[in-house]
């Protein structure tokens, strides 16, 4: 692909620079790509109704073309521009969670196949970030935006991660500082007979079910560790978020996990390998490894989500050969965190007791 000069602009979310945002909006309207912060991860934006812009997104990321893009909107009424009809459930969920980290799948109307990866449905989200909302409004477009990483790498939670992956491939990066949540939106499919979560995230099935007043099921395809069931969201089948080194999760009571990981690290080091351990503030000092990376306090699950992708990227930068990670089955968003961590580890888990 043709390389270009990528402009990086710092934007303070509390005091948005109008001139920069007008330029960014114009670039989107002209069919160019702009990466921008959202509350979940950084997105790579292009005009959702412009097939050429959608194609540029796939090319810049090296994303498989069957993996559809999420359409970002700034006002609820915009959903009518892409949905064949707006289900009552979408109104209820939007009332409770938009703007916010929830993506809804509905039957689509006039959205180009290039944006929806050939599907008859469309994914829609209203992000809760002043820079994202301002960019959508200034562009006058609906913005198709997947995570702004090279396909297969961890999603970007800081503008420097975007620059690492996409410099020279996109017109502009809006740097709004580190994101708040750190893992991608929850995806709920409203085209099935029962609402179904296709990707776990910050908004849990319980929260969705309380608002809808009905049961919300979880796509069996995302829980299976093997290929026997295909996930319904095409993107969930790819080996995502993976650091370059081999990664193994060790699960069990904390003392047993520490002994097991220390033994495994020792073996690798005997063979001359450089090893990282992904731990917490509490457990970190108990490990003996080349690098110990802390996800924050085990009691603070929001911090764990926030640090996850940066830590996976750090493993690449540190050129470690092996990574051992603790397991993070925390009460609320543990399912979302473990979904990403298990993929990063290619579902390799050692259980100990």
* Neighbouring C-alpha atoms within 13 Å toward the C-beta of 327: 21
Residue 68 binds which one of Mg ion, ligand AMP, none, with CB within 5 to 8 A depending on kind?
ligand AMP
Among 176, 200, 201, 235, binds ligand AMP (CB under 6 A): 235
Closest by CA to 201, choosing from 37, 36, 40, 35, is 40
Residue 234 binds which one of ligand AMP, Mg ion, none, with CB within 5 to 8 A depending on kind?
ligand AMP
Residue 280 binds which one of Mg ion, ligand AMP, none, with CB within 5 to 8 A depending on kind?
none
Closest to ligand AMP by CB, 118 or 351: 118
Among 123, 242, 336, 341, binds ligand AMP (CB under 6 A): 123
Residues 6+ apart with CB under 8 A from 299: none
Closest by CA to 118, choosing from 72, 75, 65, is 65
Among 32, 134, 184, 251, binds ligand AMP (CB under 6 A): 184
Residues 43-82 that bind ligand AMP (CB under 6 A): 67-68, 70
In the numeric block, which tokens belong to residue 221? 């395809």
| DSSP-assigned letter for residue 76 | G
Closest to ligand AMP by CB, 196 or 322: 196
Minimum distance from residue 123 beta carbon to ligand AMP (Å):
3
Asked whether position 147 contacts Mg ion by CB under 5 A, the answer is yes
Asked whether position 67 contacts Mg ion by CB under 5 A, the answer is no
Residue 123 binds which one of ligand AMP, Mg ion, none, with CB within 5 to 8 A depending on kind?
ligand AMP
Nearest residue relative to Mg ion (C-beta): 147
Residue 114 binds which one of ligand AMP, Mg ion, none, with CB within 5 to 8 A depending on kind?
none
- DSSP H helical segments within the chain, as ranges? 18-29, 51-61, 88-97, 113-116, 130-139, 159-166, 205-212, 220-223, 254-270, 301-317, 334-344
Residues 243-302 that bind ligand AMP (CB under 6 A): none
Asked whether position 222 contacts ligand AMP by CB under 6 A, the answer is no
Residue 29, classed as helix, strand or coil, is helix
Asked whether position 103 contacts Mg ion by CB under 5 A, the answer is no
Asked whether position 165 contacts ligand AMP by CB under 6 A, the answer is no
Closest to ligand AMP by CB, 68 or 243: 68
Cα(342)–Cα(31) distance, rounded to whole angstroms?
Answer: 36
Closest to Mg ion by CB, 38 or 204: 38
Cα(90)–Cα(103) distance, rounded to whole angstroms?
Answer: 10
Residue 152: left if φ>0, alpha if ψ -120 to 50, beta else—which one?
left
Asked whether position 157 contacts ligand AMP by CB under 6 A, the answer is no
Virtual torsion, Cα 152, 98, 125, 1, nearest 10 deg: -60
Cis preceding linkage at 190, omega within 30: no
Minimum distance from residue 162 beta carbon to ligand AMP (Å):
13
**Residue 95 exposed, middle or buried by CB count within 10 Å (0-12, 13-18, 19+):** exposed
Residues paired with residue 218 on neighbouring β-strands, in sequence order: 197
| DSSP-assigned letter for residue 285 | G
Minimum distance from residue 193 beta carbon to ligand AMP (Å):
16
Binding stretches for ligand AMP (CB under 6 A): 67-68, 70, 105, 116, 119, 121-123, 146-147, 184, 187, 198-199, 232-236
């Amino acid at each position: 692909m043709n390389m270009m000069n990528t402009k990086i602009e710092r934007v303070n979310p509390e005091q948005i620079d109008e001139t920069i945002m007008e330029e960014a909006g114009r670039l989107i309207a002209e069919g160019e790509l702009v990466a921008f912060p959202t509350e979940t991860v950084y997105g790579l934006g292009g005009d959702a109704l412009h097939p050429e812009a959608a194609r540029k997104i796939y090319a810049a990321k090296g994303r498989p073309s069957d993996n559809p893009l999420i359409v970002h909107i700034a006002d609820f009424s915009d959903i009518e521009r892409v949905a064949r009809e707006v289900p009552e459930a979408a109104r209820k969920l939007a009332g409770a969670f938009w703007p916010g980290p929830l993506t809804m799948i509905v039957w689509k109307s006039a959205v180009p196949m290039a944006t929806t990866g050939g599907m008859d449905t469309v994914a829609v989200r209203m992000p809760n970030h002043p820079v994202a909302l301002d960019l959508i409004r200034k562009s006058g477009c609906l913005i198709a935006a997947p995570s702004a990483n090279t396909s297969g790498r961890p999603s970007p939670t800081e503008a420097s991660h975007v620059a690492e992956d996409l410099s020279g491939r996109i017109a502009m990066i809006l740097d709004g500082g580190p994101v708040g949540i750190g893992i991608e939106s929850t995806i709920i499919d409203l085209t099935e007979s029962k609402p179904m979560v296709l990707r776990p995230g910050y908004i849990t099935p319980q929260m969705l079910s309380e608002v809808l007043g009905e049961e919300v099921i979880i796509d069996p395809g995302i829980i299976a560790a093997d290929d026997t069931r295909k996930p319904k969201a095409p993107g969930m089948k790819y080996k995502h978020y993976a650091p370059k080194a081999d990664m193994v999760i060790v699960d069990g009571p904390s003392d047993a996990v520490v002994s097991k990981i220390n033994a495994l690290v020792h073996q690798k080091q005997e063979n001359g390998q450089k090893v990282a351990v992904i731990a917490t503030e509490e457990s970190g000092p108990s490990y003996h490894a080349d690098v110990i990376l802390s996800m924050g306090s085990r009691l603070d699950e929001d911090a764990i989500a926030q640090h996850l992708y940066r830590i996976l990227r750090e493993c690449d930068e540190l050129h470690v050969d092996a990574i051992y990670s603790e397991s993070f089955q925390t009460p609320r968003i543990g399912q979302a965190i473990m979904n990403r961590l298990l993929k990063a580890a290619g579902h390799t888990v050692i259980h100990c007791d």
